[in-house]
């Protein structure tokens, strides 16, 4: 949980210190890469770390990830300009990728199936706490100390986490393989390059350059060519980074697509709800953050009790129940009164967190339970990778939708010279004297319409998740009965792989 906290809090603690960082180092035009570079490094390394943990064990990968993350944190604190800080944030992300995927895999290794909801709910609580504490801690450190302490604070936490992992995490011994394990470095490089180009195109498109400009088209074209090359390389590799069975098995493929769609819909509350709360409801940053944070309160609670549901009706039906509820909640958002009260969206987010907790955890626990130890790291990494890619696609897609709706509404604006994109409109509404009261009211209604369209798009993503489960997922997940489902410690060498374990399967 301490290791997870390093990665979880780092995604939010930097956001409130951006003004101080830019004021000290400059680089306002590229500061968004403080977040994009970190996200890119985490996402594209997830498949590699998943495969490495299956090959060499979880503990060495986790130790290497913590060390790399701490080195990146120390370098970030010593950064002398924005370019150096962005580069060191990427180093942090290289370690963060190992933390996210490996910790989720270890949770499945150490706890039998009936106990996994409890530990996964605790890990969800780490993310929930970090989403609330991160911005507050970042603001306090930047305002009363120095922004460099945002990164230095990772060192003592990481040192304790590292000591605990080295001393107390005991992996069962496994017999040495007959042949020396081979790492598919060519495949790893191909996956890394493909993901880097695709995510760069998604993150920068419509921001640094227009969507249909030469840079965007070039990046998308190059990523498509590299994706084709990656498929060729992986098919020829003896131990591919992304094995073909990840997509050939219906259970894993359906969960990958469903959680990718969940990543897509999560952009609506996490990215656009704070803007809605401040620009439409007139809340301050702290109150707007609270409207969003209530979702993180109900999510782990719902996840913790999800086993009582899926033990009765199965993983697939439980996930469908959760996503069906999320679909209705997302569709209810555009029906909120204008301007409304702050408790209206807060109540919807509380319900949305409960619905998504009922959706995500059964799928992660379920898909991890259909594979043996030797395939669990790769399977978990593929699920997290698809969710991260879904978030990147969602940010680009819904950003284009919001700005398109806003531009259409501003064509008939009562005054000329108004800003034309969502971020600029939000900044204008923060200054009461920037425009007349009539123009400000028109802008608020335009923002309300743009965010409503985003939530309708998020409901469409929820429908895609349901479609993936209905059409692809088996009605009952073929769960493997492992020694780890008994009170004694497992012997991974005796754990059957998914291809060998048909006699030991239990449908759930």
* pLDDT bucket at 488, cuts 50 / 70 / 90: very low
* pLDDT bucket at 468, cuts 50 / 70 / 90: very high
Percent of the chain with pLDDT over 70: 87
Does residue 177 have a pLDDT over 70? Answer: no
Task: Please report the pLDDT score of residue 470 as a whole number.
Answer: 94
Task: Please report the pLDDT score of residue 161 as a whole number.
Answer: 92
Highest mean pLDDT: which range of 13-17, 222-226, 230-234, 463-467: 463-467
Report the candidate in 374, 483, 499, 490 with the shortest Cα–Cα distance to residue 57. 374
Alpha carbon distances (Å) from 5 to 68, 115, 124, 157, 158: 15, 21, 10, 9, 9
Task: Please report the pLDDT score of residue 32 as a whole number.
Answer: 72
Tokens 């790769």 locate to: 378
Which has more pLDDT, 139 or 313?
Answer: 313
* pLDDT bucket at 122, cuts 50 / 70 / 90: confident
Does residue 500 have a pLDDT over 50? Answer: no
How far is residue 281's CA from residue 427's CA, in Å, rounded to a whole number?
14
Encode pLDDT of 210-237 as tens digits. 778 888 889 889 999 998 998 888 888 8
DSSP string, 108-177: HHHS-GGGHHHHHHHHHHHHHHHHHHHHHHHHHHHHHS-TTHHHHTHHHHHHHHHHHHHHH--PPP-PPP
Mean local confidence (pLDDT), 91-112: 88
Phi, psi (degrees; rounded to nearest 5) at 172:
-60, 140
Does residue 388 have a pLDDT over 60? Answer: yes
Task: Please report the pLDDT score of residue 493 as a whole number.
Answer: 35
Q: What do you get for the CA distance between the two ends of the chain, in Å?
A: 28
Which has more pLDDT, 133 or 268?
Answer: 268
Task: Please report the pLDDT score of residue 69 as a whole number.
Answer: 94
DSSP string, 444-508: HHHHHHHHHHHHHHHHHHHHHHHHHHHHTS-SS-EEE--GGGSSSPP-GGGSPPTTT-GGGEEE-
Task: Please report the pLDDT score of residue 486 as a whole number.
Answer: 40
Task: Please report the pLDDT score of residue 417 as a whole number.
Answer: 65
Task: Please report the pLDDT score of residue 178 as a whole number.
Answer: 60
Task: Please report the pLDDT score of residue 490 as a whole number.
Answer: 40
What is the pLDDT of the chain when averaged over all its residues? 82
Task: Please report the pLDDT score of residue 489 as a whole number.
Answer: 38
Q: Count the Cβ atoms, other than its own, within 10 Å of residue 427.
A: 12
* pLDDT bucket at 503, cuts 50 / 70 / 90: very low
Task: Please report the pLDDT score of residue 494 as a whole number.
Answer: 36
Does residue 437 have a pLDDT over 50? Answer: yes
How far is residue 64's CA from residue 182's CA, in Å, rounded to a whole number?
19
How far is residue 389's CA from residue 199's CA, in Å, rounded to a whole number?
8
pTM beyond 0.85, yes or no:
no
Which has more pLDDT, 432 or 152?
Answer: 152
Does residue 382 have a pLDDT over 80? Answer: yes
Q: Please list, in sequence order, all residues whose beta carbon lies within 8 angstroms of the beta carbon of residue 335, skipping any fewer than 6 positions away.
A: none
Does residue 506 have a pLDDT over 80? Answer: no
Encode pLDDT of 183-204 as tens digits. 778 888 888 888 888 878 877 7
Which has more pLDDT, 209 or 98?
Answer: 98
Task: Please report the pLDDT score of residue 8 as a whole number.
Answer: 80
Task: Please report the pLDDT score of residue 175 as a whole number.
Answer: 60
Encode pLDDT of 323-336 as tens digits. 999 999 999 999 99
């Amino acid at each position: 949980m301490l290791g997870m906290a390093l990665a979880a809090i780092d995604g939010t603690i930097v956001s409130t210190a951006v003004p101080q960082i830019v004021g000290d180092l400059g680089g306002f035009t590229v500061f968004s890469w403080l977040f994009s570079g970190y996200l890119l490094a985490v996402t594209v390394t997830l498949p590699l770390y998943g495969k490495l943990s299956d090959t060499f064990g979880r503990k060495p990968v986790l130790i290497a990830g913590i060390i790399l993350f701490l080195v990146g944190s120390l370098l970030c604190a010593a950064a002398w300009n924005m370019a150096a800080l962005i580069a060191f944030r990427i180093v942090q992300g290289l370690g963060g990728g190992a933390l996210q995927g490996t910790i989720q895999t270890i949770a499945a290794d150490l706890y039998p199936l009936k106990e996994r909801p409890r530990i996964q709910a605790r890990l969800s609580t780490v993310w929930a706490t970090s989403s609330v504490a991160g911005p507050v801690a970042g603001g306090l450190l930047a305002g009363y100390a120095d922004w460099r302490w945002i990164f230095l604070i990772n060192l003592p936490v990481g040192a304790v986490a590292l000591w605990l992992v080295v001393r107390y995490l005991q992996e069962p011994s496994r017999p040495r393989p007959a042949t020396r394990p081979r790492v598919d470095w060519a495949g790893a490089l191909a996956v890394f390059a493909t993901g880097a180009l695709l995510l760069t195109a998604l993150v920068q498109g419509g921001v640094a350059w227009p969507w249909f400009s030469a840079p965007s088209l070039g990046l998308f074209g190059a990523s498509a060519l590299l994706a084709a090359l990656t498929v060729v390389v992986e098919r020829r590799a003896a131990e591919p980074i992304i094995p073909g069975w990840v997509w050939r098995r219906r259970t894993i493929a359906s969960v990958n697509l469903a959680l990718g769609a969940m990543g897509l819909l999560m952009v609506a509350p996490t990215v656009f709800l704070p803007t809605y709360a401040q620009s439409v409801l007139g809340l301050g940053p702290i109150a707007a953050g609270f409207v969003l944070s209530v979702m993180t309160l109900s999510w782990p609670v719902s996840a913790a009790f999800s086993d009582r549901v899926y033990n009765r009706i199965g993983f697939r039906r439980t996930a469908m129940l959760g996503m069906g509820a999320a679909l209705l909640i997302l569709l209810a958002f555009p029906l909120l009164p204008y301007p409304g009260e702050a408790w209206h969206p807060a109540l919807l987010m509380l319900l949305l967190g409960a619905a998504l907790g009922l959706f995500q955890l059964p799928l992660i626990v379920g898909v991890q339970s259909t594979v043996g130890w030797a395939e669990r790291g790769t399977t978990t990494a593929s699920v997290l990778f698809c969710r991260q890619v879904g978030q990147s696609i969602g940010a680009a897609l819904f950003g284009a939708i919001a700005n398109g709706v806003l531009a259409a509404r501003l064509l008939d604006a009562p005054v000329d010279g108004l800003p034309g994109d969502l971020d600029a409109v939000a900044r204008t509404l923060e200054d009461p004297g920037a425009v007349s009261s009539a123009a400000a009211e028109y802008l608020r209604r335009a923002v309300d319409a743009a965010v409503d369209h985003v939530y309708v798009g998020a409901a469409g993503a929820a429908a895609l998740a349901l479609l993936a489960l209905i059409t692809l997922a088996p009605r009952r997940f073929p769960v493997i009965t492992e020694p780890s489902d008994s009170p004694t410690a497992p012997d991974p060498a005796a754990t059957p792989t998914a291809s060998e374990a048909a006699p030991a399967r239990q449908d759930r």
